[in-house]
C-alpha cells in the first residue's frame, strides 16, 4: 500500500483531544502479545478469488461492545487505524466487514474528520473511539481512536483486509490516539516499547507471518539481531542508507540516502533514476517499454547468474536473493515462448526520497521496531525460512 500522507485532519476542541489521549489502556503492565498474520488463501476473506490473489499482510482485531471482528492490513509505513463504515455503500466497503456504531454500546463520536491519501488509494470519514483489542493474550484499549471511513476508493476492493492499522512512529502531525501501538508504548505498558515482525518467506503457506507486541519470538530468526543506527525520522521507520550493492559491490550513482521499512508495500520502491541505475547494474535485465519494467528470461534468473541484491545500512550489507525480487510474469512470455521474469524494483519515489523496503525485503529479514524517541531504532536478523544474509 506504500506510505500514507495525511491529506487533511480537521481538529476541533483541543480539550477533547487531551481527554481522549490521556485515557489509560486497559491491560497489564509488561504485556507481550502474539498476533498471527495472513496473506493469501485464508477463509477470513469470504471472497475466495480475492483471497487467493491477495498480496497484503493482515491480522484480526476487534472493535466495540460486543466485539465486532475485522481484518486490518499491518502497515509500518503509515500511522492511522481505520475501518470501513456501515454508511459507505461502494463495493470497496460492502465487500468487506463494515463497522456499525449502532451495534456498539461503547462507541463514542468525536468532533474530528480525517482524510488519508495513500500512494494507491484514498479514504475519508469520521474519527470515533471504541474498545479495541488485538493479539493473544489480548491487549485491550478503552476509547481507542480510529477512522470510521465513509468514502473508500476502489483500490481497496481487491485486497482481503477490511481496513488498515498503521504502525509507523509518527506522533507529531496527527493525534497519537489514532495509533494503538503508540498508546501501548507511551504508557510503558509493554514488556518493551517495541513490536517485531516476521513475514513467512513461503508465500504459499496459510501462515502469513507473526507480529509480537512488547518483544519478539526467537524461533522466527536464525542468527543474532543486528542493530541499525537510530531512526532518523519521526514519521517513518527510516534509517540511513550507505549503499545499494550487487554481489557485494556498491552501485554508483544512487540518489537515495535513506531507507524506510514498509510492510504495507509489496515491492522495493525507488526514484525513477535509481530504478534505472539499480536494474541496469544487473547483467541480463532489459527494459521493456510496453511493460514499463525490467525483464529477464526466467532461465537466466538464477542465483548463479544474478548476484545478491544488498542494502548497506549502519555498515552492514543486508542482502536478498534473486528469488525475493525477480518474479515470473503470468501473461507475458519471451519471444521464443519461454517464461519471462520481471524486476520488482519499481519507480514511484521522488529523487530525494528514501528507498522503500517492502515485503519483498521483509520476508527475508526478521525486524524489530523499538519506539524510544529520539533514539528509536530497527534491528534485523535473517528470517526463519529465508535466504537473507549479512
Enumerate the active-site residues. 75, 262
Which of 79, 26, 20, 63 has the alpha carbon at shortest distance from 187?
A: 26
**DSSP state, 272?**
H
**How many of the other CB atoms lie within 10 Å of CB of 1?**
25
Which of 354, 303, 299, 348 has the alpha carbon at shortest distance from 325?
A: 303
Rounded-to-integer distance, Cα 18 and Cα 31, Å: 25
Q: Regarding beta strands 268-271 and 355-357, do their DSSP bridges make them parallel or antiparallel, or are they unpaired?
A: antiparallel
**How many of the other CB atoms lie within 10 Å of CB of 118?**
21
Rounded-to-integer distance, Cα 226 and Cα 220, Å: 14
Which of 261, 259, 292 has the alpha carbon at shortest distance from 358?
A: 261
Which of 116, 179, 108 has the alpha carbon at shortest distance from 150?
A: 116
Rounded-to-integer distance, Cα 63 and Cα 3, Å: 24
DSSP 342-370: EE-EEEEE-TTSPEEE-HHHHTTEEEEEE
Q: Quick one: cell of 282?
A: 544487473
Which of 82, 74, 79, 77 has the alpha carbon at shortest distance from 36?
A: 74
Cβ contact 221:288 at 8 Å: no
Tell me whether residue 320 is exposed, middle or buried, using C-beta atoms within 10 angstroms of its C-beta: 0 to 12, 13 to 18, 19 or more. buried
| 12-to-101, 110, 112, 114, 160 alpha-carbon distances in Å | 21, 9, 6, 12, 34
Q: At which residue does the C-alpha cell 549479512 appear?
A: 390
DSSP 274-285: HHHHHHHTSTT-
Amino acid at each position: 500500500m506504500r506510505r500514507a500522507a495525511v491529506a487533511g485532519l480537521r481538529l476541533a476542541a483541543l480539550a477533547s483531544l487531551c481527554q481522549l489521549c490521556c485515557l489509560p489502556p486497559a491491560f497489564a503492565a509488561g504485556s507481550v502479545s502474539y498476533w498471527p498474520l495472513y496473506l493469501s488463501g485464508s477463509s477470513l476473506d469470504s471472497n475466495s478469488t480475492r483471497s487467493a490473489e491477495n498480496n497484503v499482510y493482515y491480522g484480526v482485531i476487534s472493535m466495540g461492545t460486543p466485539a465486532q471482528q475485522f481484518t486490518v492490513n499491518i502497515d509500518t509505513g503509515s500511522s492511522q487505524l481505520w475501518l470501513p463504515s456501515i454508511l459507505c455503500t461502494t463495493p470497496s466497503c460492502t465487500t468487506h466487514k463494515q463497522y456499525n456504531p449502532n451495534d456498539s454500546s461503547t462507541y463514542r463520536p468525536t468532533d474530528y474528520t480525517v482524510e488519508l491519501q495513500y500512494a494507491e488509494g484514498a479514504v475519508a470519514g469520521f474519527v470515533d473511539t471504541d474498545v479495541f483489542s488485538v493479539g493473544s493474550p489480548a491487549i485491550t484499549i478503552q476509547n481507542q481512536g480510529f477512522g470510521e471511513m465513509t468514502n473508500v476508493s476502489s483500490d481497496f476492493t481487491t485486497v482481503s483486509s477490511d481496513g488498515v492499522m498503521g504502525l509507523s512512529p509518527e506522533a507529531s502531525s496527527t493525534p497519537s490516539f489514532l495509533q494503538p501501538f503508540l498508546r501501548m508504548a507511551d504508557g510503558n505498558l509493554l514488556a518493551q516499547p517495541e513490536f517485531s515482525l516476521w513475514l513467512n518467506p513461503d508465500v504459499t503457506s496459510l501462515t502469513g507471518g507473526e507480529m509480537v507486541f512488547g518483544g519478539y519470538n526467537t524461533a522466527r530468526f536464525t542468527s543474532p539481531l543486528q542493530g541499525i543506527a537510530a531512526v532518523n525520522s519521526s514519521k517513518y521507520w527510516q534509517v540511513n542508507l550507505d549503499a545499494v550493492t550487487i554481489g557485494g559491490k556498491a552501485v554508483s550513482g544512487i540518489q537515495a540516502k535513506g531507507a524506510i521499512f514498509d510492510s504495507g508495500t509489496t515491492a522495493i520502491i525507488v526514484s525513477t533514476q535509481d530504478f534505472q541505475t539499480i536494474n541496469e547494474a544487473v547483467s541480463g535485465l532489459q527494459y521493456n517499454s510496453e511493460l514499463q519494467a525490467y525483464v529477464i528470461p526466467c532461465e537466466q534468473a538464477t542465483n548463479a547468474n544474478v548476484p545478491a541484491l544488498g542494502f548497506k545500512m549502519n555498515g552492514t550489507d543486508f542482502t536478498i536473493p534473486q528469488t525475493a525480487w525477480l518474479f515470473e510474469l503470468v501473461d507475458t512470455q519471451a519471444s521464443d515462448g519461454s517464461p519471462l521474469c520481471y524486476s520488482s524494483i519499481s519507480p514511484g519515489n521522488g529523487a530525494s526520497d528514501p528507498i522503500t523496503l517492502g515485503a519483498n525485503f521483509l520476508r527475508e529479514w526478521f525486524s524489530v521496531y523499538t519506539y524510544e524517541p529520539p533514539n528509536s531504532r530497527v534491528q534485523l536478523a535473517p528470517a526463519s525460512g529465508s535466504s537473507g544474509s549479512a
